[in-house]
Structures are given as C-alpha cells and as structure tokens.
Structure 1
Amino acid sequence: MLGVNMMVLMATLDMSIVNVSLPTLAASLGVDFATIQWVILSYVVAIACLLLLISRLGDMMGKKRIFATGLIIFTASSLLCGLAPGAHWLIAFRALQGVGAAMSQALGIAIVTEIAPPGTRGRAIGFVGATVSMGLALGPSVGGILIDLAGWRWIFLVNVPIGLLAMRIVAKYMPALPPSQARQRFDVPGAVVAAVTLGCYCLGMTLGQKTGFDQTGALSLLGLSVIGFAGFLMVERRTAQPMIDLSLFRNLRFSLNLLMSVLVFISLSGGFIVPFFLQMAQGRSPREVGLIMMVLPVCMGVFAMLSGSLSDRFGSRGLSILGLATVGIGYLAMTGLTQDAPWWEFVLRNCPVGIGIGLFQVPNNSAIMGAVPRERLGVASGLLNYTRVFGQSTGMPLTGAIFTASVAGMTAMPTRADMTHVPPGQLVAAFCHTNAVLFFLAMAALALGIVVWRLDRTAKPQAASSKNTGAA
C-alpha cells in the first residue's frame, strides 16, 4: 500500500507542481507561451494515449511487473527532466515521465483492490483517493517553495529519492499478482490513430498560437485531427476488443454524464494560466503563487469527501447540478479580478470553482457508473478515467489559444506572444476574458445536467409503470 501510494503521490504531484513553474520555465529556458505549454501537454498526452492500453496490459502480463516498470521509468525520467539542457529536451523527458505515470494511474487502484482484504477494500481505495487529493493540493506550494529556494530543476529531482524508496518497497513487499486474462488483445490500430489525432490537435492549437489559426500549418494539423477522429470511430467499430467500447454511448444518460465530466475537466485545465496572472501581472513570488494556488485543490478534496455521503443521502443529480452552478459562479467571479487585487480576494473568487468541482465530481461519477450494466463496470471505469486526461489534454491548448488570442488582440503584438513582455494590465484583461469563456463552458455543462435531470424524472415513472405491469 505504501509503495503504491508513493507512486500515486508522485504522479499526481507532477500534474500540479509544474503549473506554478511555467512562468519561471518560460523565462529561464527562453521560450514562448505556446512552447512552454508542452511541458505539461507532453506529460498529459502520453497518459491519455496509454491509460486504457496499460489497463489491459496489466491483466495480460501481471500488474506488479508493469507497475514496477512504470515506477522505474518515472523515477529515471524525473532525473532526466531535472538535468534537461533545454526546453525541447525537457518536453521529451516529460513525455517519458508520462509513460511511467500512466502505468501507475492505470494499475494503482486495481493492485490495491486485489491485495486488500475484502473487509478493508473500501478504506484502502479511499486511501488512494486521499493520496491523489494530497498530491494535487501539495503540488503548487511545494513547487513554489522549491523554485524560490533551489531553482526549477528541483521540482523534478525531488521525485528521485521518493521513487527509489518506492521501488525498494514494491520489490520487497508487493506480491507477484500473476496475469488474470492472458487471452486479451491490444487495439493497436485504435491506439495509434488516437495518439496521432490527439497529437495533431495539440500541435495545431499551439502552432496556431504562434503563427495564427489562418496559416496552413495550423489548419492542416487541425484538419488532420478531425479526419483522425472520424477514422478512430471507424476503427473502434470494427475491432473485436476496442480501446473504447462505443456501444456504451447508446445510453444517452451515460453519454451526457460523461460529456459533462469532459467539459468540467476542460475548464479545470485552464488553471495553468493562473501563475501568469499572479506572477507576471501581480508580481508575486513563486512561493506566494504556490500557496495561493493550493486553495482550489484543497476545496476540491474537502467537498469531494462531503459530496460522497451527501449523494448517498439526497441523490446524485441535484448535487451535481448544484456543483456545476457553483463552478460557473466561480469563473464569473474570476472575470472581475484586477491587477492590484489582494491575495484574499483571489482566493474568495477562486474558491467556488474548487467547491463546485468537489460537489460535482463524485455524484456525477456515481451516476455514470450507475448507468451501465454490472458486467460493463470495468470498461466504464476505464472510460471515466480517460475523460479526465482527455479533458486536460484537449483543454490546455484550447485555453492557451484563447489566452494568447486575447493578449494578441489587445497588444497588437504578433500572434507569437512572449508573455514576459506583455504589459501587466493587458495580461489581467486576457486572464479575465479567458475565465469568461470558462464560465460559458461551465454553463454548457450545467445545461446538460438539467437535460439529464429531466431524463431521470421521465425514466422513473416509466420504470415504476413497468414494474407494476409485471407484478399484475
């Protein structure tokens, strides 16, 4: 348990610890805003491309072997990230780090479920969930402190001693966990098409921030991503054991709940622009930025724990709708921030976003899992995890494009915006404009939530009527 949770902690810590360092990385490595996004994007895209495949690989080859290999890859690539001589090397090593992280995220809960005695299984899985929340909450503050005291390289090097200790624990104490389903097959064509499609989309969105979205390169890449998406759907329909079981989407309530989750994670991915507001527009230190950015994940974690018990008592639909409305209020409040806003004002305006996501996520996850047959729970669980990384990997370049377009439109600068030379007042305006777009995304998710609520109300009388007819 300790070995698994140490790996989970590192993987989730690295999702949030890098956010606070982006302005420092952009200045230290001498790269523009579009390029520096790939320090996060390469990590998330690697996870998105491998998550579902590695879940199946663990059943075929044994969970301990795959998990331990991922731990080695993650620790070694953390060392390489800390020693990276330039931005492009750092991006490449971050992608390798994402490969190792995918192995832990895909198999961590499965390993805990298998090794925990039945009477303690729920508590063990809850321990993993608490570790995820702790990693997300600690990331910004740890990152800010490390940058202030030792420089940006230590936000990666800090993983090395933790990883070495986790490797020792896993090797010595984790049972063998032999393969359970040796006859499963990989959907290699689907994985390749999905990776190319997602890569073309992210490259097109970031290239568009440099050259403009009316240029041939960006348009070609975005066009290829549309073609790739259509091709992916065709491949998945014809594959015996696909990455994503498309038949699940025939259930309208399942599909809409999943789409709401994607929209929420797209909006949440916009948090990577917060350090540019706090550090470059307001002039705060990385340490202070990290402490301020802790507020959102802490609110998410606290209210996620509360929403679980509340949804059992009052039902999931009303609570998830309340959460989405609260998220919208938070993004709307963020549009009113000014350059000289004190830290406590930022915290008060940002808190509803974390509270709302905490209220929404657990009830919505419960509704998603409750909408599928029992024999499809494993597939649905993998798809639920995939929505998170898919929302992050697609949302980051989208948010970056909106932020860059806002800066370029106000400054009459070339589209290739260097954020270090943008006047603070215009950075603030671009930040507020971007949050306005995130508000509309939250409202779109809220509208879907109301539609599903109406579908639920319609389905209940029909189910009761069918039951009475059967009894008669």
Structure 2
Amino acid sequence: MQSTQEESKDLTNPGASKKWWAMLAIGMSAFVCTVDINIVNLALPTLIQSLHTSFATIQWVSLSYLLVCAAFILIAARLGDMWNKKWLFLGGLILFTIGSVLCGTAPNVGFLIGFRVLQGLGAVLIGVMGSAIIAEVFPKEERGRALGIINGINWIGVASGPSVGGLLISWVGWRLIFLVNVPISIIAILIVALTVPDSVSREAKKSFDIAGAILVAVTLSCFAFSMTTVQNEGFGSPIALILLAIAAISLWCFLIVEARSNSPMIDLKIFRSVELSFGLLMRLIVAAVMAGMIFILPFFLELVKQYSVQQTGFLLAVTSIFTAVIAPIAGTLSDRFGSRIISLIGLVLVVFGYLAISTFDTQLTVLGFIVRMILLQVGLGMFTSPNSSAVMGSVPPERLGIASGLLSLSNILGQTTGLALTGTLFSFLTTINANLAPKTDITEAPIEALVESVQMSFRFFVPIIMLAIVLAGYLLWLERRKEQAAQTESTIDLS
C-alpha cells in the first residue's frame, strides 16, 4: 500500500511527471483529432467528386469512424484501468498516424472507409487515455484547470476545422487533410514517450471480460447506427427499429453478464455514486441539445439569411472561440470555488442563451447573431470543464480510465441522439408550418416557415436543459449538506 501511495505522489510531482509536457502532447493529440473530424465532414462533397462515388457511400467515411468510436470506447476505457495508460495512448497515436497516412494515399473510397476505421481506433485510445492521464498526473487541486485547457483545445479544433479544411482542400486537395495530421502526431508521440510517466494499475492482474466487451460493442454500435439511420429515414425506418431492438436486447444481456462477472467490463456499483451518474446524465443532455443547435444553425444561416457556406463556417467558428477561451478559466474557477456551482452557473447561461437564439429572425444582423451566441457559448464553456472535473473526481484512481470512457460515451450518445431527434423535430415543424406534403424537402419551405421552425426548435430545448439544471442544483445541495455534516462532526470531535 505504501509503494502505491509513493507512486501516486511521484506521479503528481511536477518535476517527476513533467505534467505540462504531458499536457502539451495530449493537447496536440486532442487538437488533431478534433480538427480531423470537422475537416472530413467539410470535405465530403469534394470526396464524392474526386472518388467518383455517391453520397450514400461517402457518408460511410464519417459513419465508420463514428461507429468504431462508439463501439470501442468502453473497451478502451477498461483496458486503461487494467494496463499502462501511457502505452495505450502511444498505441492510439501510432494507429491514428498510420491511419492518416493510409487515408491520405487511399486509391478509392473503399480503402478510405477501411482506413478511417483504423483512424477511429486510434482516436478512441487518444480520447479516453488522454483525459485519464491528465486526471492522473495533475493533483486534485489543479484538475479542473487541466481538463479545462483540454476542453479549450478541443473547441479551438472545432473553431479552426472548417476554415483550415477549406484552405487545404482549395489549395492542395483533399489528401492533405489527412496527411497534415502526421507531423503533429509524430511530435506528440515523441513528447509522450519521453515525458509521460508510466501508470501502475491495481486492476492489472484481473482478466478481461470478453463477453462483456462484445455485448457492449454490439449495443453501442447498433444504437449509434440506428440514430444515424433515423437522421436519414426517420423513426419509422424498419432498419432503425431493428437496430434499436438489437441494441436493447444486447444491453439487457450485457447487464446480466456484468452483474455475474468477477472481472466486469464496468463495475455497475460505480453508478451508485450520484455524483457520477448525474454528472454523466447532465453531459449527455448538454451534448444532445448542442448537437441539435449545430444541426439547425446552418439551415437558418444559409436558407434564411442566404449566407454562403464560407460565411456560415466563419460565423460558427468565431462563436466557438468564446467557449475555447472560457473553458480553461471555468476549470480554474472550479478548482477554487468547486465544480458544482460553476457548472450550475454555466447551465443557467445556456438556458438564457437558447432563449436568446430562439429570437432569430429575418432581420438578424451578424452582430446580433454573435452577441446572442456568446451567451450560449460562454455557458457551455463554464459547464463542460467543471463537469469533466467532477466526473473524474467522483471515482478512485483505479477507475479513471472507465470514468473518462463514460464521459466520452455520454458525449457520443448525446450527439447521435440529439442529431436524430432534432432532425426529426425540425423536419416535422417545418412541414407543419409550411403546409408541405409529407417527405417534401424542407429547403422548399418558405422563409417564414423556416424561421418559425427554428424558433420553436430552440424553445423546445429549454425545458430539456432545465432538467440538467435540476440535477446540478441537487448535486450542489448534496455537496453543501455533506460539508455541513463534516463540519458538525468535526466540532463534536473537538468538544
């Protein structure tokens, strides 16, 4: 036990761990992965022409990546608790780098889709291990700031992805959007290998739950695929319903297997922690409503305001910068004042932000758009970093891998569900408001109907976020109650 404590102290010693070098390498890796996702989505129309394929086929360039991330995220998290996080992270970086080289030299769309699977496997390990390593090498009193910096870097990637991608594609061609990852990834590999300390896990001698791994992979991939199918075909799609049924059956089997396993993929007892469970649920809710907003805004800006794709991308990038700036600040504030109060303030700002953007109309100016979006983006930045810190802090050190995986999974499930629900809702509202025939393309709707649908959709999100506020308020009350109980007990002991 003493040796374990000494390792922990050494791990959080700035001189021994070179934690800021670790931050640099993990930040570079997170940036590359985030930019890659956004650039590839932007490049899909170009890829259709260059590879002489169809939209139905080319969407698998993004979909294969998403499904791999969803399927393997908890498997990666479990391996992180069993094995050395540093070497798993390095393995992810190497896979991502090799995948980038292969994608950039792919001779046809089939090879490109296959190589994106390899990239996705690497990205899963990078995302899960990165947050876990940051939570491990930084002491508790600095964890919020550290995770805030990583969140900020992710948002910089979101903001810069469309503009960087547009320049690379127009100047050189689509292959460079993959090859540009390589030099940055190689530098990150060298920094990680030289500076990040090894982690010793108490779970290392336990066996790997193969049955649980297969079931969780089937559950998550089927659910993610079903939500993607819903976006294209609606909730009445037979394929979507079959996939949801398979996901539900697989989840039921997974829970039974985990409850009986001596070395489960996920120790279900960790969900008894209200801090963990509610923290993950809040993250899922916010991810869902943010994905919905990102889905709707291009329709408003391009169809209602008649902005070009470049102008739309620029406006979305500019507003994302505010989240990137606020995230590290919010993390630092959470270290000082506690994550509960800061994340609650962030959620309140998000609600006011959605009320503000629900006033978008045909008279909206660029300045009016940015001012309204600032409130929302600042609120998002104030929520995400403290929420990450609270979730990671709610588990013991030997569970940091699975906590990081569950946090990433909440984001993915929230985004896929949010996109599916928002797509269905927005299409339904537009069809009703414009009196369109069923299955008519919403781009044919009059501007007034589109504006009304946008406003109604954003107002629909408000009560959903209010649920997250209730959860955050309860956690804050619970924390204050525990603090008062501890103070009372301390006073009794002194007397």
- Structure 2 length normalisation: TM-score? 0.77
How far 1:420 sits from its partner (Å)?
A: 6.5
How far 1:356 sits from its partner (Å)?
A: 0.5
1:201-220 to 2 correspondences below 5 Å: 201-220=223-242
Aligned pair 1:354/2:377, yes or no? Answer: yes
- Structure 1 residues 208, 108: closer, same or farther in 2, change over 3 A? closer
Instruction: Give the structure 1 partner of residue 55 of structure 2.
Output: 31
- Tell me if the contact between 2:284 and 2:414 (Cα under 8 Å) persists in the aligned partners: yes
1:103-142 to 2 correspondences below 5 Å: 103-108=125-130, 131-142=153-164
- Tell me if the contact between 1:333 and 1:349 (Cα under 8 Å) persists in the aligned partners: yes
Aligned pair 1:295/2:325, yes or no? Answer: no
Instruction: Give the structure 2 partner of residue 9 of structure 1.
Output: 31
Aligned pair 1:449/2:459, yes or no? Answer: no
- Partner of 1:243, secondary structure, is coil
Aligned pair 1:73/2:95, yes or no? Answer: yes
CA distance in 2, matches of 1:135, 1:465: 47
CA distance in 2, matches of 1:67, 1:313: 30
- Structure 1 residues 23, 326: closer, same or farther in 2, change over 3 A? farther
The one of 88, 97, 115 aligned to 2:119: 97
Instruction: Give the structure 2 partner of residue 196 of structure 1.
Output: 218
Aligned pair 1:412/2:436, yes or no? Answer: yes
1:278-289 to 2 correspondences below 5 Å: 278-289=301-312
1:333-348 to 2 correspondences below 5 Å: 333-339=356-362, 341-348=364-371
CA distance in 2, matches of 1:17, 1:247: 40
1:218-229 to 2 correspondences below 5 Å: 218-229=240-251
How far 1:263 sits from its partner (Å)?
A: 0.9
How far 1:3 sits from its partner (Å)?
A: 5.3
Instruction: Give the structure 2 partner of residue 396 of structure 1.
Output: 419
- Partner of 1:336, secondary structure, is coil
- What is the one-letter code of the residue matched to 2:211? P
CA distance in 1, matches of 2:296, 2:174: 18
CA distance in 2, matches of 1:85, 1:408: 42
- Tell me if the contact between 2:97 and 2:186 (Cα under 8 Å) persists in the aligned partners: yes
Aligned pair 1:275/2:298, yes or no? Answer: yes
CA distance in 2, matches of 1:55, 1:221: 24
Instruction: Report the more deviating stretch, 23-32 or 152-161.
Output: 23-32
- Structure 1 residues 106, 451: closer, same or farther in 2, change over 3 A? closer
How far 1:10 sits from its partner (Å)?
A: 1.0
Q: Deviations over 1:22-71 (max 9, x none)?
A: 67778996537xx8876545434422332332344356665565444433
- Structure 1 residues 439, 308: closer, same or farther in 2, change over 3 A? same
CA distance in 2, matches of 1:325, 1:122: 20
How far 1:363 sits from its partner (Å)?
A: 2.7
Instruction: Give the structure 2 partner of residue 247 of structure 1.
Output: 269
- Tell me if the contact between 2:64 and 2:117 (Cα under 8 Å) persists in the aligned partners: yes
How far 1:320 sits from its partner (Å)?
A: 1.8
How far 1:141 sits from its partner (Å)?
A: 2.6
Instruction: Give the structure 2 partner of residue 322 of structure 1.
Output: 345
1:259-270 to 2 correspondences below 5 Å: 259-270=281-292
- Structure 1 residues 413, 11: closer, same or farther in 2, change over 3 A? farther
- What is the one-letter code of the residue matched to 1:205? M
How far 1:332 sits from its partner (Å)?
A: 2.2
CA distance in 2, matches of 1:418, 1:157: 37
- Structure 1 residues 322, 51: closer, same or farther in 2, change over 3 A? same
- Tell me if the contact between 1:68 and 1:170 (Cα under 8 Å) persists in the aligned partners: no
- Tell me if the contact between 1:253 and 1:455 (Cα under 8 Å) persists in the aligned partners: no
Instruction: Give the structure 2 partner of residue 185 of structure 1.
Output: 207
CA distance in 2, matches of 1:212, 1:3: 41
Gaps of 5+ in 2: 1-20
CA distance in 1, matches of 2:175, 2:98: 14
Structure 1 vs Structure 2 CA RMSD: 4.1
- Structure 1 residues 115, 448: closer, same or farther in 2, change over 3 A? closer
- Structure 1 residues 182, 444: closer, same or farther in 2, change over 3 A? closer
How far 1:404 sits from its partner (Å)?
A: 3.8
Instruction: Report the more deviating stretch, 257-266 or 275-284.
Output: 275-284
Instruction: Report the more deviating stretch, 170-179 or 284-293.
Output: 170-179
- What is the one-letter code of the residue matched to 1:252? V
- Tell me if the contact between 1:144 and 1:290 (Cα under 8 Å) persists in the aligned partners: no
CA distance in 2, matches of 1:113, 1:451: 25
How far 1:11 sits from its partner (Å)?
A: 0.9
CA distance in 2, matches of 1:87, 1:45: 17
- Structure 1 length normalisation: TM-score? 0.80
- Partner of 2:266, secondary structure, is coil
CA distance in 2, matches of 1:366, 1:166: 24
- What is the one-letter code of the residue matched to 2:70? A
- What is the one-letter code of the residue matched to 1:333? A
CA distance in 2, matches of 1:71, 1:256: 31
CA distance in 1, matches of 2:441, 2:98: 32
Q: How many residues end up aligned between the 2 structures?
A: 468
How far 1:302 sits from its partner (Å)?
A: 1.8
- Tell me if the contact between 1:22 and 1:275 (Cα under 8 Å) persists in the aligned partners: no
